[in-house]
A and B are shown apart, each in its own frame.
Chain A
Amino acid sequence: MAKEKIMTFVQARSKLSEIVDRVAESGDTYVVSKRQKPLAVIIGIEKYRELSGTSKYLKNVGGKKIFKLGGIGKAFGDIDEAIRELRKSRIEAVAKKFS
């Protein structure tokens, strides 16, 4: 399980390489303090993206952030039929609840 650790600026500086590996691999968070005040946090890139709402799937194309959807997924069976079945089951569930 990911842990939160507090360390001084001096400790963080001396172990920076190890800390970067740990935040990337285990999801640990390091709070860095200076003069006993917590001032900064070191977190892994995935956690940062999760918190900031950014995505690695966006590509910069001509200055625009593009999410290329074509061909990223797989479908199994007849999708049109699956959508019909899904809607039918949802409508029936509502009808049953109020009957």
Chain B
Amino acid sequence: MTYVTDTHALIHHVTERKRRLGRRACNVFDRSDRGLDTIIVPFTVLEEVLLLSEVGKIQIPLPFREFVISLDKADNLDLGINDTAVILEAATFTTVRDPYDRLIIAQARVAGVPLITGNEQIQGSGLVRTVWD
């Protein structure tokens, strides 16, 4: 199965803070690492990973360029591009105010797959199926 990931969910998995992840979210990431599920990493999430690594909040043991190339080439991961479909989808709802959340939700809606997120506002929005606990 395919999922879209939110930024915090991806980072908690990458940095192995499993206690910060919901049980089902943790399971999906583990399955992806074994090639059993596919996770779409939205452009917005990737951008935040870059910025957080630049300010020293996270450390990834490979150059960012290599990180992106690896994501792009891997069969268990996909890069979600902020294309016309995503921005148009984000424009169809205004109930979520955070513009970055909107783009991530839009990515999941365009792909037609659940979003891995612990964000309660998104979970309760009814805009997208979510996976967490």
Contacts and interface: CB of A to CB of B under 8 A. Distances in A.
Contact of A67 (B7, B30, B70): B70
B96 interface: no
Interface stretch (B59-67, B80-88, B105-113, B123-131): B59-67
Contacts, number: 108
B6 to A, nearest CB: 9
A2 interface: no
A66 interface: yes
A46 to B, nearest CB: 10
Q: Which of B16, B20, B56, B65 has the most CB of A within 10 A?
A: B16
Nearest to B58: A75
Interface in B18-37: 20, 29-30, 32-35
Contact of B59 (A62, A74, A82, A86): A74
The interface residues of chain B, by DSSP majority, are classed as helix
Interface of B: 7-8, 10-17, 20, 29-30, 32-35, 48, 51-52, 55-62, 65-66, 69-77, 98-100
16 contacts: A54-B73, A57-B62, A58-B70, A66-B35, A67-B77, A69-B13, A69-B32, A69-B33, A70-B16, A72-B60, A73-B58, A73-B61, A75-B57, A79-B20, A83-B48, A87-B48
